Structure 1
Amino acid sequence: MQKIFSFGFWNSVARLILRNRITIIILIVVTTILLATQWKNMRFSYTEANLMPDDHPVNLIYQDFLEKFGEEGNLILLGVKDSALFTPEKFEAWTKLTDTLSKFPEVDHVISPANLEELKKFDDPKRFEMVPAIPDKHPDSTELKNFENKLFTQMPFYENLVYSSHSNTIQSALYINKDLVNTKERKIFVLEELNPLIKQFEDKYGIDVHVSGMPYIRTLNSQNIIDEIGIFILAALVVTSLIFFFFFRSVRATLISMLTVCIGVMWAFGVIGLLNYEITILTALIPPLIIVIGIPNCIFLINKYQQEIQKHGNQAKSLQRVIAKVGNATLMTNLTTASGFATFILTDSKLLREFGTVASINILAIFLLSLMIIPIVYSYLKPPGQRHLKHLNKRWIGGFVNWMEKMVRNHRIAIYITAVGLLAISIIGMYTIKVSGSILEDMPHDTQFFKDIQFFEDEFEGVMPLEIYIDTKRPKGVMKLSTLKRMERLEDIIQDIPELSKPLSVTRLAKYAKQAYYNGNAKYYQLPTSQEQNFIMPYAKNLSSSKGMMQAYVDSTGRYARITTFMQDVGTDEMERIEEHLKPQINKIFPEDRYDVSMTGKALLFQKGTDYLVRNLIISLGLAILLIAGLMAWMFRSFRMILISLVPNLLPLIITAGVMGFLGVPIKPSTILVFSIAFGISVDDTIHFLAKYRQELQVHDWKIKRSVYAALRETGVSMFYTSIVLFFGFSVFMISSFGGTVALGGLVSATLLFAMLSNLLLLPSLLLSLEKSIANKKVLKEPAMNIIEDENDEVEEEENSKND
């Protein structure tokens, strides 16, 4: 009854589609238009993705920090390593440039050598004032030379803020409005205002300007993601269409397939907009993924249609059989693929949940589109001629199929030895895999903005802020001399860490006030004594309030303070080492009963988020295996067959993990997707093979060897075709400028290639070796669903057609 129901169901679906062609076409067109109206709701990410749940303790600390001090990464830095800048013409040009930039609404204020101020003591009345470091608006060469010397020797307050302690490099800092720093206005300012002005200055004066800072890096990085979406879609269409045409040698079939996947891409964008999700580095991969995964559906359907035409020439019967006989197979393969992506929905990471949701929905959508569009379009066209069917009789693939059969028949021991050897080597490689949570690692290394990042790391020891968040637990506790001395001790420790820059905090202002009190003598750039503090600190506080320095590093109540240091592009291991070094020192300097001190900042969050995602990887992969094993248990109703089927699909994952270890490819937010994606896709081959194998057992009266070889010959060609499409389709991602996307494409392609060979060599070998315990009627019970319809069903089909 289940077989009849399965067959009858898909036969009814076929009649429903073919009898309501116009209605379905209208529905597809209307749905496409409606989803296209949602494109406007797509939002591009203007900051790094939050990899952890909002209620995670690390996130809660960061959110509390933002409430007190606002966005920490709001600096755009302009660096120049050229002594010619301190000549009258070029210095005046630099002054005009920074003045122009300061007038944009996106810029709160600018600190630059051109507008630098120094703290001066006045006696009548007694006061501190910030006065221009260069009084003359048009300084001559002598004044500029004196200023340059004074800057590098007498103004330690501006060290690593305006000038580098390593060389004569200077920088100007643009403080971006914190309300606009993570909005579209930042992108417009950087791309349409800042970059053209910098380029104009460089061309006119021959001075190289290096630009960096987190707002700038985020802008150019997100723009690269946007640019690559179009490149990926075009490349995926070109590659898959060429491979498709090579297999079918039919322009018509190729165009129909491209039409189908293009509609799927439009739906994918519409779903992203409908759900109001951001375009991130992960969701940007979904449209080309839909193309790569959708083309095998087209191959199955069109190939089956042409086989039916060649068999009996009846177009109506062929179209009905395409749906009725391939519907189960394509549904289950798409369902298992979607399951691999859907497991990400069950994680606590918003980034992965959104990716898993959109991907799984659109994989099922491309299945429905393929099942409807291809038969309907072909129903309006003439049946394919002999030239369209020539590929069905090709013999070039025969050599590959014969080689597989020969290996399984005569060299099973060699297959097992190879599999065990690869397993052992891969396990060794797995133990060398590292985890990387670097924000910058995946960014395109050949771009100018990445080279500028390296420039600032060399000259200013980093651009990514790491924050030390201090709660003194009492109002005005920050400005107590004991607290300032504790902060200074911690800053000295931070300064000794090579990966971190010289810190910025309110202690600089206190030191600068004392230096000013002693008429600018640099040797007095130090914290005041308790006696000096009574006079100096009120002046410093009033002065800083007008300039915003105090508010930047101390909250309005004086209870909370921050110490900001900039870190180089370090990996997870280095970051953990820095944390392990700093935490005991922090606890020692700041007693826990009097202070709460935490490390935070976007860079640290990204590091912690990567570790969190790695744990989620294990969960999502385990869920994928259980979910797909459950589907196969329902389909084949055999626990032993589940175990047999998992072996050839888990081995490629282990091999890929070993390859990652040996090649030094770390586990990171981009590469953790490889395993769940590849497993969900590769198990499709197993389903096809086992379904055909079970069918052949019934045909050949449960004769194992004949059934295995027949299934191998029958499914080997289609598995080869789809694997080639998937291999080259995922290889498209290797043209990306993002290292993580390149690794994702290469690793998934390699895993699917391993999976194809594993399913065509190891799986049939296991079935033959374990024939007594596997292939018997008791073990292989009546399936819940026929993945491939039996030939006897054709008789039932014709009888049903006559009754209709």
Structure 2
Amino acid sequence: MIIILHKTIFVLTEKRAYVLFGLTGIALFLCLFLTNITIDNSLEVWFLQDDPVLLNYNEFKDIYGNDEVIIAWVNPKGSIYEKKFVSVIYSICQKMEEYSLINRIVSITKAPYLDSHEMNLIVEDMVNKEPDDSFRPEELKSKILSNPLWEKLILNADQSSILILIEPVAGQNMDAERPQIIAYVKNALKHLNYKLAGMGVVYEELNRISLKDTSLFSSLAYILLISALFIFFRRISILIAATLTIIYSSLIFLGIFGLCGQSFNMFSAILPTLIIILCLADIIHVFSHYDKTEPGPDRLQKTLSFVLVPCLFTTVTTGIGFSALISSPMAVLKSFGMFACLGVFLAYFVSIIFSAALLARQGQTSNSKSSPIGTDFLDRLIEKISAMNYQYHKWIVFAGALIVCFSVYAISTLEVDTFSMNFLLDSNPVKQDSYFFEKDYGYYVPLEVRLRPRHPDGVKNPDFLKKLSHLQKQLDNVPNLAKSTSIADIVKQLNKVLTDNRQASYRIPDTKAAVAQELLLYEMDSDNDISYFVDSMYTEARLTIRIPMESSKEMEEKIHLVKSKIKAMFHDTVEIKFGGYIPLYVKMMDYIMQSQIRSFMIAFIVIFAIIGLLFRSFTVILTGIIPNILPIFFTLGFMGITGINLDIATVTIAAIAIGISVDDSIHFIFMYKTQRRKGLPIKEAVDRTLKTSGKAIITTSLLLITGYLVMIFASVKSVIFFGLLIGISMVSALICDLVLLPSVLLLFAKAR
């Protein structure tokens, strides 16, 4: 180990030109892959490719098409049936339908109209040609209102506005195509009073603000951290080291990220900022120990021999905190954990390389001792903390235990939930438009159910269709369920137009033959839309219920409610399977809880096992556990008390926080053990450690806290909470390292 350390120091100091040249070559090569990075916030990216829930979702899309429908609300100045307005909508819908990335349009001009003439079924668009002088508004109104299906889907409550349902093609590269589709729709509607809604619109907004936040975080974090460094150190060399480390680490990291074909999302967008923050910790420790080392020809070698090992171990523990997320069943968290871990090690190696190179060059020009870090204020503060720890260490440990107990209670109130719309700030236009939609039009989020009858007649069985129709009426009368649609709506309308066209005939026929005949006639017309309601073999039917845009927990309650209604209606005669993206959304709750437990336990066990390996002492492990558990429990307890849910961003808090907070504990214990080996008693060793490492710990922690708090300026609530919670965890960890950890050491000393 000693030989490897000396050889590493030799390379860093004597062969630094070759090291810097090689590092530059790697960075330039990896820059070629920066353009491969994309943004993707769709729900599917959170799941592994072989996840049964994702496979079910893809199967649903293969049968029924894309469920990521864009809904346009359009309000005319006058009546929705006026010739001028209808003509504009007709032209827009015709152009949209011709666009290669749009599969289907449903509107007051494009919805299928069913009629019959001399026992022949007629299926045509509501408006099948450009409105001219023969156009009659009352005729269009009569056509739309003749079919309850279109009345509830394409008109708002008071029929003052219309809805255009735009279904994109279910392509393999939806994330790249989605912004093109939405831009095309916006351009087509730009001269109208319109609003857009739908999960695709939410995904695209998350993509937009993720890109904006990445640039904002990186720029703001760099400016704040570099400014803070200058305030603490007041010299150019450390600013140069920090700047070069940030640039090289970021380029290499992003190059590897692009080389691996990765995409940023609203959460992983913080990775570049994370790299900037992590780059500074080791630089501070190198420069601070260099300042405290006596001038001489081997000053840098002594500094590196002292800091390389503890800095490496803190890098390992931080890396473990992130890499523990690889145990998550969620694809995004696995990727985040893996690449954050990579970033941690990159920051370590690059910061050591540039710190050593700059200090080696500085040593050639001057052997004078550098200005010390910190101020008289920090010296006085640490002196008071040291005195307080010695006098009140028992009470401090007791207070820490009470905080842990209270935090455990608060953690019991913590809820697991996630809400895509709530990721957006209340001021976000997309969020405001969604709430407007629900108020003016009604619920629009589709809860998809696949019903497979167990009898041989399948969907065409009249008894099945009658029960399905009756089920829809029941569901529409349940609060927060609305606008249910199914093949039963089509069959009832077919029966109506193929008999006497009276409202009393809007029902399911009594015989299998009648149902089969009506559906056959409908299928024979090329303008039919039967494929959106049943599979090709009529073995299953699609039931769609519109529900509010709400959290995953509330959606899970809707699934259970609908399932109970279906079972009560059909008993065991149908197989029930939920489709679309809502089951994905709901499954995330289970994965979030699994991720929290797995990642924290792995990080906890491995990190403290490494501490035991480093210091070869069970007592040290216990000493390290106590002050590092408190920040985690306190932060999770804070979440419980303040109502911050455990969601797809905050689920990472525990594992990451323990990996970061333990770093300063390692530096403290490492210095403490060094003082003990010199023969100092425990009290003097604790006091000397506080006075020698205390300022570096405070400086590093304050800079890291500043960097993480940059995230409170995010446009995504979960990222704001992530930055705030990591900041709280870091503040409590700093207090524990300066107050609780020394008190625990003093208490153990008294116990002996």
Q: TM-score range by the shorter chain?
A: over 0.9
Q: Which moved more, 1:637-646 or 1:336-345?
A: 637-646
Matches within 5 A, 1:424-435: 424-435=405-416
| 2:263 aligned residue | 278
Q: Which residue of 2 aligns with 1:633?
A: 612
Shift of 1:510: 0.8
Task: Write the letter of the residue equivalent to 1:757.
Answer: I
**Residue deviations 1:298-334, cap 9 Å, x none?**
11122333444xx31x4x5333233222111211111
Residues 116/386 of structure 1: CA separation in 2 closer, same or farther (3 Å cut): same
Partner of 1:80: 74
Q: Give the match for residue 191 of structure 2.
A: 201
d(CA) in 1 for partners of 2:175, 2:581 = 17
**1:276–1:291: structure 2 CA closer, same or farther, 3 Å change rule?**
same
Partner of 1:159: 151
Deviations 1:515-566 (A, max 9, x none): 32355444543323338935862355325x6235111121111112211223
Q: Does residue 579 of the first structure (1) align with residue 559 of the second (2)? A: yes
Contact 2:327 2:334 in 1 (8 A): yes
Q: Structure 1 residues 443 and 522 mapped into 2: Cα distance closer, same or farther (>3 Å)?
A: farther
What is the Cα deviation at residue 60 of structure 1?
Answer: 4.1
1:479-502 deviation per Cα after TM superposition (whole angstroms, max 9, x unaligned): 221221232233234323333331
One-letter amino acid matched to 1:195:
K
CA contact (8 A) 1:736 1:742 kept: yes
Contact 1:156-1:525 at 8 Å conserved across structures: no
Partner of 1:624: 603
Alignment of 1:175-190 (within 5 A): 175-179=167-171, 182-190=174-182
Residue 16 of structure 2: aligned partner: 21
For 1:138, give the aligned amino acid. P
Pair 1:371 & 2:357 matched: no
Matched, 1:719 2:719: no
1:325 is aligned to: 306
2:654 aligned partner, one-letter code: F
Find 1:263's aligned residue among 241, 248, 255: 248
Is 1:433–1:667's contact at 8 Å kept on the other side of the alignment? yes
User: Does 1:770 find its partner at 2:748?
Assistant: yes
- Residue deviations 1:682-714, cap 9 Å, x none? 00111111111122223244x121111221222
Shift in Å at residue 669 of structure 1?
Answer: 0.8
State the match for 1:565 in structure 2. 545
Q: Which moved more, 1:461-470 or 1:377-386?
A: 377-386
Amino acid at match of 1:247: F
1:735/1:281 Cα in 2 relative to 1: closer, same or farther (>3 Å)? same
SS at match of 2:729: helix
> Are the structure 2 counterparts of residues 548 and 766 from structure 1 closer, same or farther at C-alpha, using a change threshold of 3 Å?
farther
For 2:153, what is the secondary structure of its paired residue?
coil
The answer to whether the 8 A contact 1:475-1:557 is kept is no
Comparing 740-749 with 469-478, which one deviates more in the overlay? Answer: 469-478
Aligned equivalents of 2:160, 2:173: Cα separation in 1: 30
Q: Select between 356-365 and 34-43 the one with higher mean Cα deviation.
A: 34-43
Distance 2:292 2:420 in 1: 51
What are the Cα deviations for residues 164-185 of structure 1, in whole angstroms up to 9, with x where unaligned?
A: 3466332011121112671413
Change beyond 3 A, Cα 1:60–1:186: closer
Offset at residue 212 of structure 1 (A): 1.5
The alpha-carbon deviation at position 116 of structure 1 amounts to 4.2
Q: Is the 8 A contact 1:167 1:459 kept in 2?
A: no
Q: 2:318 maps to what in 1? A: 337
Check conservation: 1:460, 1:501, Cα contact below 8 A. no
- Asked whether the equivalents of residues 35 and 271 of structure 1 are also in contact (C-alpha less than 8 Å), the reply is yes
Question: 2:640 is matched with which residue?
Answer: 661
Deviation at 1:458, TM superposition (A): 2.6
Contact 1:499 1:570 in 2 (8 A): no
Counterpart of 2:546 in 1: which secondary structure?
Answer: strand
Deviation at residue 152 of structure 1 after TM alignment: 7.1
Secondary structure at the aligned position of 2:697 is classed as helix
Q: 1:170 aligns with which of 152, 155, 162?
A: 162
Matched, 1:95 2:87: no
Give the match for residue 210 of structure 1: 195
Q: Distance in 1 between matches of 2:64 and 2:369?
A: 68
Contact 2:178 2:204 in 1 (8 A): yes
Specify whether residues 708 and 727 from structure 1 end up closer, same or farther in structure 2 by C-alpha distance, changes over 3 A only: same
Picking from 108, 112, 133, the partner of 1:113 is: 108
For the 8 Å contact 1:271–1:358, the answer to whether it is kept is no
The CA deviation string for residues 368-417 of structure 1, in whole angstroms up to 9 with x for no partner, is 11111222234345768899944536212123213322321223354245
Deviation at 1:724, TM superposition (A): 0.5
CA distance in 2, matches of 1:104, 1:180: 17
Q: Alignment partner of 1:597: what SS?
A: strand
Identify if the C-alpha distance between structure 1 residues 395 and 368 changes in structure 2 by more than 3 Å, giving closer, same or farther.
Answer: same
Specify which of 121, 130, 135 is matched with residue 128 of structure 1.
121
When normalised by structure 2's length, the TM-score is: 0.93
Deviation at 1:105, TM superposition (A): 1.0
Bigger shift: 46-55 or 21-30?
A: 46-55
Task: Kindly provide the amino acid, as one letter, of the partner of residue 516 in structure 1.
Answer: V
Per the alignment, residue 227 of structure 1 pairs with 212
Q: Is the 8 A contact 1:590 1:597 kept in 2?
A: no
Which residue pairs with 2:568 in the alignment?
Answer: 588
Q: Is 1:441 aligned to 2:432, yes or no?
A: no
- How many angstroms apart in 2 are the aligned matches of 1:392 and 1:616? 40
Tell me how far apart the structure 1 counterparts of residues 70 and 340 of structure 2 sit (CA, whole Å). Answer: 35
Kindly tell me: are residues 177 and 57 of structure 1, through their superposed partners in 2, closer, same or farther at Cα, counting changes over 3 Å?
Answer: closer
Change beyond 3 A, Cα 1:20–1:99: same
> Counterparts of 2:99 and 2:552 in 1: how far apart (Å)?
38
- 1:586-632 superposed Cα distances (whole Å, 9 cap, x missing partner): 2333344x432112321221221222221221011001000001101
How do 1:409-424 and structure 2 match up within 5 A?
Answer: 409-424=390-405
Matched-pair contact (CA < 8 Å) for 1:437–1:611:
no
Change beyond 3 A, Cα 1:534–1:54:
closer
Whether contact under 8 Å (1:435, 1:668) holds in the other structure is yes
Aligned residues between the structures: 751
Cα separation, 2, equivalents of 1:494 and 1:719: 60
Q: Among residues 24, 30, 35, which one is paired with 1:35 in the alignment?
A: 30
The answer to whether the Cα contact below 8 Å between 2:34 and 2:258 also exists between their aligned partners in 1 is yes
> Equivalents in 2 of 1:11, 1:421: separation in Å?
46
- The separation in 2 between residues aligned to 1:411 and 1:299, in whole angstroms, is 31
Conservation of the 8 A alpha-carbon contact between 1:300 and 1:326: yes
Distance in 2, matches of 1:446 and 1:251, equals 42
Could you tell me the TM-score, scaled by structure 1's length?
0.87
- Contact kept? 1:247, 1:391, Cα under 8 Å: no
Task: Give the stretch that moved more between structures: 94-103 or 244-253.
Answer: 94-103
The 8 Å contact of residues 437 and 610 in structure 1, kept in 2 or not, is answered as yes
Q: Which amino acid aligns with 1:554?
A: V
Alignment-mate amino acid for residue 180 of structure 2? I
Aligned residues: CA RMSD: 2.7
* Residue identity opposite 2:382 in structure 1: V
Task: Give the direction of change, closer, same or farther, for the CA distance of 1:178–1:393 in structure 2 (3 Å limit).
Answer: closer
Q: Which amino acid aligns with 1:321?
A: K
* Counterpart Cα distance in 1 of 2:540 and 2:144: 32
| Bigger mean CA deviation after superposition, 642-651 or 735-744 | 642-651
Instruction: Return closer, same or farther for 1:117/1:60 CA change in 2, 3 Å cut-off.
Output: closer
Please show how residues 509-520 of structure 1 align to structure 2 within 5 Å: 509-518=490-499, 520=501
Which ranges in structure 2 are unaligned for 5 or more consecutive residues?
Answer: none
Cα distance change, pair 744–140 in 1 and its aligned pair in 2 (3 A): farther
Structure-2 residue corresponding to 1:651: 630
3-state SS of 2:483 partner: coil
After TM superposition, the structure 1 stretch with the greater mean CA deviation from structure 2, 496-505 or 362-371, is 496-505
Structure 1 stretch 743-752 or stretch 12-21: which is displaced more?
A: 12-21
Question: d(CA) in 2 for partners of 1:136 and 1:522?
Answer: 28
Asked whether 1:502 is paired with 2:508, we answer no
The 3-state SS of whatever aligns with 1:77 is strand
Where structure 1 has 5 or more consecutive residues not aligned to the other structure, the ranges are: 775-804
